[in-house]
């Protein structure tokens, strides 16, 4: 954390209000409690530097750049409604700060209430954890990441902003049972499957919201005589996040033979292919796509039950179902 970030407080507050107005105008943050959180938490404290695309590769913008114009560019970007690349390693993006309007949508979809406890998988910069801590209090929030550099950085950012939730270094796929049980789990990295370990750490009727394929799956955890199960549908919203580190990469069919280019490049068709993995070859995916009249994300869902998990179209027990690798 740079020592001079406090000099941006006034300009940051004005930029933060402008960002908030834009998010609200876009239809998000209907809950006054979340509007208050976004207004109070200074995003620029969580991104003292980030990377933008330069003429010869990633270019760093940072708060202590000696050039006033570049410092102003950094502050403007910190409050733009866009994702920010905050950590690049060996040319690969390993951590980012998500688009604020998408964060707002995800937080509202969680339907968080006073007294809830939340586990966040993927600490990132700590900004999302700060929003949660502002809404619920420090003791109700646990955020974790596999990378100790990321958790240390997030912890410092949070402290600078006046928040002190639990920041845990560990494998997010295993959760954090010692801090549970949780009413909500929010994930800020793309999953190859939904870890079964999370279900045992949830209270009945808990919600899990996670990026999966190129969408957001919202699961409800329910009790049963055979142990908790989870089921839910995808939101309409597209979402692209950094993959969960430590998890095996999802298996995908590498070919697009027989699929017209205009279909292969369609964002929803790519979602279908990513979700079904190698279960459907390109021609089978195309046949389903045409037969079901280009199904939207909301028609798809995921079920975890009895140690199995599968994706489905329209009905968990219907004819269109594809096994997922158990997490």
Q: Provide the number of structural domains found in the chain.
A: 2
Split the chain (327 residues) into runs of 10 and give each run's mean pLDDT.
Answer: 64 93 96 96 95 85 93 95 90 88 96 97 96 98 96 97 98 96 96 93 97 95 93 94 62 61 91 87 92 96 94 96 80
Domain assignment of residue 26, yes or no? yes
109 within domain boundaries: yes
* CA 16 vs CA 158, 223, 306: distances in Å: 17, 42, 46
Q: Do 183 and 288 have their domain in common? A: no
Q: Classify residue 317 by burial, with Cβ atoms within 10 Å: 0-12, 13-18, 19+.
A: exposed
In a domain, 199, yes or no: yes
Q: With contact defined as beta carbons under 8 Å apart, do 151 and 144 qualify?
A: yes
Task: Determine which one of 95, 97, 153, 193 is catalytic.
Answer: 95
How would you write 159-195 as a 3-class SS string?
HHHCCCCEEEECCHHHCCHHHCCEEEEEECCEECCCC
Render pLDDT for 93-129 as a digit per residue (tens, 0 to 9). Answer: 888 899 999 999 999 999 999 999 999 999 999 999 9
Secondary structure E strands in the chain: 49-54, 57-62, 84-89, 92-97, 118-121, 141-145, 166-169, 182-187, 202-212, 215-222, 229-234, 300-305, 308-313, 321-323
Which tokens sit at 145? 């990441």
The predicted-structure confidence for 139-151, as pLDDT tens digits, reads as follows 999 999 999 999 9
> Of 218, 234, 250, which marks where a domain is finished?
234
Biggest CA–CA distance in the chain, Å, is: 64
Residue 95 among the catalytic residues:
yes
Provide the pairing of β-strand 166-169 with 141-145: parallel
CA distance 197 to 206: 14
10 Å Cβ neighbour count for 224? 9
Instruction: Determine the pLDDT at residue 326.
Output: 62
Residues 209 and 289 in one domain: no
CATH code for the domain in which residue 99 is found: 3.40.50.150
Same domain, 266 and 230: no
Return the exposure string of 293-309: e unless at least 16 CB atoms fall within 10 Å of the residue's CB, then b.
eebebeebbbbbbeeeb
The domain in which residue 286 lies consists of 261-323
């Amino acid at each position: 954390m740079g020592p001079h970030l406090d000099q941006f407080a006034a300009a940051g507050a004005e930029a933060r209000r402008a960002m908030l107005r834009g998010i609200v105008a876009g239809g998000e943050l209907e809950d006054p409690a979340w509007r208050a959180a976004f207004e109070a938490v200074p995003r620029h404290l969580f991104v003292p530097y980030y990377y933008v695309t330069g003429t010869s590769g990633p270019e760093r913008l940072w708060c202590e750049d000696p050039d006033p114009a570049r410092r102003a560019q950094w502050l403007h970007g910190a409050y733009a409604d866009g994702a920010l690349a905050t950590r690049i390693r060996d040319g690969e993006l390993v951590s980012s700060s998500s688009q604020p309007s998408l964060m707002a949508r995800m937080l509202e979809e969680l339907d968080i209430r006073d007294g809830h406890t939340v586990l966040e998988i993927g600490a990132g910069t700590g900004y999302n954890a700060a929003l949660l801590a502002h809404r619920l209090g420090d003791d109700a929030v646990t955020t974790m990441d596999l990378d100790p550099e990321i958790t240390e950085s997030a912890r410092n950012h949070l402290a600078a902003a006046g928040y002190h939730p639990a920041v845990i270094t560990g494998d997010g796929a295993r959760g954090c049972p010692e801090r549970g049980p949780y009413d909500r789990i929010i994930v800020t990295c793309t999953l190859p499957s939904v870890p079964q370990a999370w279900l045992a750490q949830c209270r009945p009727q808990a919600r899990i919201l996670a990026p999966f394929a190129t969408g957001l799956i919202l699961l409800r955890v329910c009790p049963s005589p055979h142990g908790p199960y989870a089921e839910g549908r995808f939101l309409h919203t597209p979402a692209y996040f950094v993959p969960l580190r430590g998890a095996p990469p999802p298996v995908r069919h590498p070919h697009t033979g027989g699929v017209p280019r205009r279909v292969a490049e369609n964002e929803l068709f790519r979602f279908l292919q990513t979700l079904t993995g190698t279960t459907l070859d390109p021609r089978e995916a195309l046949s389903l796509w045409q037969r079901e009249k280009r199904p939207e994300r909301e028609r798809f869902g995921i079920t975890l039950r009895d140690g199995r998990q599968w994706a489905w179209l329209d009905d968990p027990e219907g004819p269109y179902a594809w096994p997922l690798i158990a997490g």
